[in-house]
Structures are given as structure tokens and as C-alpha cells.
Structure 1
Amino acid sequence: MGMSVTISAAREQDAEQILKLQYLCYQSEAELYGDYTIEPLTQSLDDLTAELARGHCLVARLGDEVVASVRGCADAEGTARIARLVVHPRLRHHGLGGRLLDAMELHFTSDPAVRRLQLSTGHRSEGNLRLYRSRGYTPVATEQAGPRLRLVTLEKAAPSGAYAASA
């Protein structure tokens, strides 16, 4: 390819590329669960733009192309929820998803109010579950999200004192 992948904060003008990437990436999830009405496939550009304005979004770029993305937001109780980690199918299995997840965790754990990191995935999404477990997440809940889909919520504690200044 000749270019390296760079990770940066998403810009408002990235919303359309992120939505198209999300649609492409969630096709395999929809097929896995036999449900093409899952929310990532039905989200509108306006909804995505509003979501980006409310939280934090990182993208990975190969040149000008957005090839991976992850979003998240922290609540008042100290939980940072990480969502919609997607990597273009042609770039999967090269560590890009892990790099994006690490960068998002770093963003949230730099805030001392964040005490835990949380994310969710489908119960049959073995690759996602394997990645999250390898990063220290453990299942804390399951929820029936559709006739064939159970969402598994995984969580880990944010590192405490990792960013505290020393005297």
C-alpha cells in the first residue's frame, strides 16, 4: 500500500465515511444473527452526526480514507462506554482494532472521573469477544436485544492513579 494508517479524532466531515464504513462492517454481524434491522444498519446520517457531537470518536485513516472507527462517551457515574469499533474488512486481523481500542481507552482514562470502561457485543461475535477479553474486559451482563441476538456487556476498571502527577 505504501501508506501508513494514522489514528486521530474524527472530524464532523468524516460522518458520511464513518456511516458507510459502519454499514459495510455490520453486514457480517447482521448475517451472523440473521437480522438486517440491527441499529448500526439503520442509523441515519443525522443520528450519527448528533452522536459524534455528544461523545468522542476516533478514526483510522489510510491516506484520506477512513478505514476504521470507534466511538464512546462517559457518563456522570464514571463509566465510559465504548461502541461501534469497526475495521474495514480488507484491513482486519492486522491489529488495527486493538490500536483503536487502546487509543480510546487512553482518551477516557486520562479523565480521573472515569472509573470503568464498558462495551457490548453480540454473544456469537467470537472475534470481538476474544479481542475484548485479551484487553482485560470481563462479561458483567447479557441482554436480549432481538429474537436471535443477546448483547454481552463487558467491563474493566480504569487504571487508578495512572495519570496522577508525582511530587
Structure 2
Amino acid sequence: MGMSVTISAAGDSDAEQILKLQYLCYQDEAELHGDWSIQPLTQSLDALRAELAGSRVLVARLGAEVVGSVRGTAGADGTAVITGLIVHPRMRRHGLGGRLLTAIEERLAEECSAKRYRLATGRRGEGGLRLYRRCGYAPVGTEEVTRTLTLITLEKDAAPAYVTSA
């Protein structure tokens, strides 16, 4: 019998697995853009722990192994910024990225009253762009980070909360 992937809040003890997975997952992005100095590949464990302490972080687990992760923070204006969506290469194209994205959106709406979600991805990352568009995100801007790396910022409004009356 196979194991199913579960999504839950990350703990500090997950930081090392998240960092290793992040390094693995961003190899493709670095190769696409010809830039191995991107932040996910140069981030230290201490810097990641600090980031995790200030964010909502979810992990996808297959047994004890972290096979996916996503982070989010929300500002006072109700805009939530989603970062670090990663899925182990062997687990891609099975809907796990979409499940993580939906889970972090729900967490940010419930815990932070998010009204809008924003994220960014590399212009050449067609897989990520397809996922984000399929999940309702639309491009709102671009930023040239380096000569070879341009980020596309995408946004979507949070689904309205429905109030039921008794």
C-alpha cells in the first residue's frame, strides 16, 4: 500500500530538509536563466530559519520526507506574498504544487485576513507560469533582476468569505 502526501505547518526541525529541497528544486531555474547566484541557491540555513520564523510555512510530506514546501507573509494592506513554492522533481506533475498553493492561500486568508495574493516567478519558468495562471493568477508586472533573469509578478484576489446566517 502506498503512502499519501500530507500537507502541514512546518516546524524549525524541517529547515534543513527544506533548504536541501530548495537547493535541488532551483537547479532547473538557475540553468534556465544561466545564473547560479540566485538567492534560493545561496541562502544559508540560518537565513532560512530566520525567514521561516517570520512566515507561514507549509510542507508536503511523503512519510517523513519533505517533498514540497511553500511560504507566505501578509502585509497590513491585506496583500499576502507567496514565495518558495517547491516540489521535489520526482513528485512534479501530480498536482502537489497546486495543493500547496491552495493550502497557503487558505492559511493566509484565515490567519492573516489576506485579500489578495502576490507571487513572482522567472520569465522562462513555463511550468510555474502555467500553474499560476491555472490557479487564477494574472501578470501585473515584470522586473529585470539581472541581464538573464526577469521576474514576472502575478496577483489574484482572495475568494470572498461567505457568511452563513442561522
TM-score, reference length from structure 1? 0.95
The alpha carbon displacement at 1:115 in A equals: 1.4
Partner of 2:109: 109
Partner residue in 1 for 2:12:
12
Aligned residue number for residue 29 of structure 1: 29
Moved more, 140-149 or 103-112: 103-112
Give how far 1:111 is off.
4.5
Structure 1 residue 109: Cα displacement: 1.8
CA–CA separation in structure 2 for the residues paired with 1:109 and 1:53: 19
- Count of residue pairs brought into register by the alignment: 166
- Between the aligned partners of 1:165 and 1:47, the Cα distance in structure 2 is 43
- The alignment partner of 1:67 has SS state of strand
RMSD between aligned alpha carbons? 1.3
Partner of 1:48: 48
SS of corresponding position for 1:66: strand
Percent of paired sites with the same residue: 63
- C-alpha distance in structure 2 between counterparts of 1:166 and 1:148, whole Å: 54
Cα distance in 2 for residues equivalent to 1:75 and 1:28: 30
Q: With structure 2 as the length reference, what TM-score do the two structures score?
A: 0.96
Shift of 1:145: 1.1
Consecutive aligned runs of 4 or more in structure 1 exceeding 6 Å deviation: none
| Alignment of 1:149 onto 2:126 | no
Secondary structure of the 1:129 match is: helix
Give the superposition deviation at 1:100: 0.5
Residues 48-78 of structure 1 show CA distances to partners (whole Å, capped at 9, x for unaligned) of: 0011100100000011100000011001111
Q: Measured at CA, do residues 112 and 89 of structure 1 come closer, stay the same or move farther in structure 2, by a change above 3 Å? A: closer
Q: Is 1:85 equivalent to 2:77 in the alignment?
A: no
What amino acid is aligned across from residue 52 of structure 1 in structure 2? L
Aligned partners of 2:78 and 2:116 also within 8 Å: yes
Distance, in Å, in 2 between the alignment partners of 1:14 and 1:109 is 23
* Cα gap change, 1:88 to 1:59, in 2 (>3 Å): same
Structure 1 residues 112, 42: CA separation in 2 closer, same or farther (over 3 Å shift)? closer
Structure 2 distance, partners of 1:165, 1:76, is: 26
